[in-house]
A and B are shown apart, each in its own frame.
Chain A
Amino acid sequence: DAGITQSPRHKVTETGTPVTLRCHQTENHRYMYWYRQDPGHGLRLIHYSYGVKDTDKGEVSDGYSVSRSKTEDFLLTLESATSSQTSVYFCAISRGSGGNLETQYFGPGTRLLVL
């Protein structure tokens, strides 16, 4: 398994509270991604990073922010959690090379419940 950990693995929080999820890698890969997975929607990209301090929005970025101050850590913050953000969140990493994106390696996921 690729060296990717996510913390916490499970979290229950209340509407309106801020939540930060952490993704940590030991592979020194340049690219890191945050996805959410919901029934009927598959996997959707929230934000991604292509280097330290370099991030960009994905398909469903509203209500989320990210930060990457060092290569190994990519943080996802829900500024004010809403029930619609109840989901399973996955982090992924990739080397990326040449003109093609190489495969992505996924973390174990974080189950977030917003009450």
Chain B
Amino acid sequence: SQQGEEDPQALSIQEGENATMNCSYKTSINNLQWYRQNSGRGLVHLILIRSNEREKHSGRLRVTLDTSKKSSSLLITASRAADTASYFCATDASRNSGGSNYKLTFGKGTLLTVNP
């Protein structure tokens, strides 16, 4: 079963508005990552936040992590039509630091539509 669950499943906004997507997960994690997928393409990494971090910024992206609530949020400010894509959170709950268990678990994604 999925470790991360995004909310909402779909979001439609106007250009210039902010978009907020949430991710909840079930077990303790090493880090949480957000990815973007344009239609018909592979996923592209956006940002990684480690379990000991609470907030991280990258350009127009702001990610928060609340490990006590097992949740994260991705905020895209001043959205553009080009931000239209699906956004996925992925959690790394690997327990084996020796290297044989490195894998991410992805959520089902939030489809963001930014209308011009």
Contact = CB atoms under 8 A, between A and B. Distances in A.
Interface of chain A, main secondary structure: strand
Nearest to B95: A99
Interface stretch (B14-22, B57-65, B68-76, B98-106): B98-106
Contacts of B108: 40-42
Interface of A: 30-31, 33, 35, 40-45, 48, 50-51, 54, 56, 58-59, 90, 92, 94, 96, 98-109
Contact of A99 (B30, B42, B45): B30
B43 A50 contact: no
Given A42-B109, A98-B97, A101-B30, A33 B103 contact: yes
Interface of B: 2, 30-31, 33, 40-45, 48, 50, 88, 90, 92, 94, 97, 99-109
Nearest to B99: A50
A100 to B, nearest CB: 5
Across chains A and B, which 6 residue pairs bring their CB atoms closest together, nearest first? A106-B42, A42-B108, A43-B106, A99-B97, A103-B45, A101-B92
A102 B94 CA distance: 11
